[in-house]
Structures are given as structure tokens and as C-alpha cells.
Amino acid sequence: MSSGKKYVQKGDDSVERCWWGNGSEDYAAYHDNEWGYPVDDDYRLFEKICLEGFQSGLSWITILRKREGFRKAFKNFDFYKVADYSVKDVEKLLQNSAIVRHRGKIEATINNAKCAIEIAKEYGSLAAYIWSFEPTTKEPHAGKKPAKFPSETKTSQRLSKELKKKGWKFFGPTTAYAFMQAMGLVNDHQEGCFCFQKAIDLRKQFTPPTYTT
């Protein structure tokens, strides 16, 4: 995302943050405390990949307000446990109003849990694999239509492509970029947002996990 004061807005609490962070108390809390800060916990990374998939066709606020329901339904996104879910579990989840009841997305989550296990085995952790895709420089939008702010980049296209090759579902390049923004692989807090420098500082303090092949 481009920097600039007009993309920063002052909230009712007089705090200047990225324009989307003032939409509601839920958005503000998510923006202020989570979004854009580096994460190396496998289960949190898996959770975000799954929730971004569930968001497809919906607003993020819908997913955010159901997040605790998702966590309970999917064992805090412990992919070793989710991978063992059965057809009976799928049917039970389809009756669970605390989550988004979409068969394809539920089955994709179980499928992706199995894929996450394979990545963890091969690379030591899901985090080590994911962080190997951290771009070294800011990247422009790389989608089919011009956009003022990136919704996908060459790196997000590559991450999506590579995960799909490994069997993952519901993880296109736009979803991949939203994931990268949220998990701190890129810092898209706007200059002037009170989190902009915090995200930079946290990334400096953060040591990305690595793997050797």
C-alpha cells in the first residue's frame, strides 16, 4: 500500500491509524494489536491461512467476529488434530452456527491441515517454509487490473502457486497477499499510522525461522 496522510484517519479515540482500522472496535483492536506484526507460530499461521480462505466472498469483519468459534471448532488450528477430522466431523461443523458453514471451505481446512503436516515434516516447521517467501523489497501490484494498493504481488502469486502444488486449497494470490500483510511478511501500515514504526521495530527484533534442504 502506498504511504500518505490521506490514508490515515483519526479514530474516535483520537488515535491515527490506517483508514480501515477505524471501522469498528473489532477492526481497531485487530489493527492495533495484530495486523502486520511478524508471526512464527505454526498454528497461528495455519489459522490465518484458513480464515483467509473462509473469508472468500465475505467481509473480514464477519470472520473476525466468528474467530473464537472457528478456534473452538478447529482445535485452535492445531493442524495435527484437524487432519484427523472425519466425514462425521464435517457434518457436525455444517451445523455449527459459530463458524461459516461452507462445506467446501471446511473440507479445504481439513485437507490443508494434512498439507501443513507434510510441510512441517519437510521443512522443520510451517513457519520456516512461509517465511522463505518474505520479499526483500516493496513490490507493486501484480494482478490483471491496475490497483492503487497491492492486492497481489509476484511473491503472493508464487506463494499461492507453490502451496497449490503442494495440495493446498482456497489460497489464491489475493488471499496469499492478505495473509502476508496480516502476518508481518510485509508492512502495509501507512506512514502516519501509529503502528507503522511499531511494525518496523518488531520486524527488526524478529528472527525468521529458516530451514535447510
Strand 8-10 with 16-18, pairing = antiparallel
Query: Which pTM was predicted?
Result: 0.94
201 within domain boundaries: no
Residues classed as catalytic: 30, 52, 60
pLDDT tens profile 15-65: 999 999 998 999 999 999 999 999 999 999 999 999 999 998 899 999 999
Written as one letter, the residue type at 183 is M
136 within domain boundaries: yes
Q: Is the pLDDT of residue 103 over 60?
A: yes
Count other Cβ atoms within 10 Å, centred on residue 61: 14
129 within domain boundaries: yes
**How many structural domains is the chain composed of?**
1
Rounded Cα gap, residues 160 and 98, in angstroms: 28
Written as one letter, the residue type at 174 is T
92 within domain boundaries: yes
CATH number of the domain that 69 lies in? 1.10.340.30
69 within domain boundaries: yes
87 within domain boundaries: yes
161 within domain boundaries: yes
Residue 119, pLDDT score: 98
Residue 213, pLDDT score: 61
125 within domain boundaries: yes
Which 3-state string (H, E, C) describes 89-132? Answer: HHHHHCCCCCCCCCHHHHHHHHHHHHHHHHHHHHHCCHHHHHHC
- Domain holding 80, by residue range, is 40-181
Q: Is the pLDDT of residue 3 over 90?
A: no
pLDDT tens profile 132-156: 999 999 999 998 877 778 999 999 9
